[in-house]
């Protein structure tokens, strides 16, 4: 059985982390599978949206502590192995945001430490109402410094720091209020609601969404004037596309657009 299962539904690719006995921890094997699969999805223009879920009782419990403990047996105490692990995990996170397709986290059970980082990294997130979120490494003496990067870019600074320093969990409703997730739904509706959101986005002009995602993250790093100058150029390029002209004409003539991409 694959550690990362894939299932294609039209223009939507569903990915499911499949290591329930380890609460879908981001082990070496899981990180490798995510890296390879996401790379393949990025190169497929027919995939317009990706969803990411976890099997079993949890979405993802973060790093695999058993693997990390074994790394300490090295002569350097594990320093090189730990650096490699955190670098590989960070590459997966940046890979998700660099994907041309929107990535939606479908979250249930718990999302802790690097698992919470994974939710924060995805472009959108839908959570079951009984989900709990935490960056709780501090409880075992390991401050969640890399998860902090994604978390502090999703929720207000003081709330992020409180979670990081107390190790306390928040529920799904609080996560939605803080901006960590978009929607909170009943557990038995989670898959359906996530699929509906994915299909809604997949129904838009794929080229426009790809352009928009890239511009969204790029402009966040710019001063205001630079952001407007950059996105103005992006909109010009978008307007020049034949499919955009078709979309505008379809709107004006009150008919469905006949998009090629």
How far are the Cα atoms of 237, 250, 260 from residue 243, in angstroms, in the given order? 12, 10, 7
List of domains in the chain: 4-202 (3.90.226.10), 206-252 (1.10.12.10)
pLDDT, position 1: 81
* Distance, C-alpha 198 to centroid of its chain: 13
| Strand, coil or helix: 168 | coil
Torsion sign, CA atoms 78, 69, 141, 86: positive
CA distance 230 to 252: 28
pLDDT, position 260: 83
pLDDT, position 26: 98
Query: Among 199, 197, 208, 213, which Cα is nearest to 261's?
Result: 208
The position carrying tokens 């935490």 is 134
pLDDT, position 230: 96
CA distance 135 to 164: 6
Torsion sign, CA atoms 204, 222, 151, 118: positive
pLDDT of 30-55, one tens digit each? 999 999 999 999 999 999 999 999 99
Which residues in the chain land under pLDDT 70?
261
| DSSP per position, 128-146 | ETT-EEE-GGGGGT---HH
pLDDT, position 103: 98
pLDDT, position 253: 96
């Amino acid at each position: 059985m694959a550690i990362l299962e894939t299932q294609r539904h039209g223009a939507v690719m569903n990915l499911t982390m499949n290591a329930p006995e380890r609460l879908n921890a981001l082990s070496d094997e899981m990180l490798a599978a995510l890296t390879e699969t996401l790379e393949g999805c990025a190169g497929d223009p027919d995939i317009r949206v990706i969803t990411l879920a976890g099997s079993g009782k949890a979405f993802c419990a973060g790093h695999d502590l058993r693997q990390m403990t074994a790394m300490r047996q090295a002569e350097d105490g594990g320093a090189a192995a730990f650096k490699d692990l955190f670098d590989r995990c960070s590459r997966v996170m940046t890979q998700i945001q660099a994907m041309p397709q929107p990535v939606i986290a479908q979250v249930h059970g718990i999302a802790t430490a690097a698992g919470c980082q994974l939710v924060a990294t995805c472009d959108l997130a839908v959570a079951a109402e009984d989900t709990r979120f935490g960056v709780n490494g501090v409880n075992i003496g390991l401050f969640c410094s890399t998860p902090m990067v994604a978390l502090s870019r999703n929720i207000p600074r003081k709330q992020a720091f409180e979670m990081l320093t107390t190790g306390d969990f928040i529920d799904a409703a609080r996560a939605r209020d803080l901006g960590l997730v978009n929607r909170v739904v009943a557990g038995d509706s989670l898959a359906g609601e996530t699929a509906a959101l994915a299909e809604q986005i997949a129904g838009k002009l794929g080229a426009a969404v790809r352009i928009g995602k890239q511009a969204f993250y790029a402009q966040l790093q710019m001063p205001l004037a630079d952001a407007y100058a950059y996105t103005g150029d992006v909109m010009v390029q978008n307007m020049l596309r034949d499919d955009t002209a078709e979309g505008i004409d379809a709107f004006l003539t009150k008919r469905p657009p006949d998009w090629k991409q």
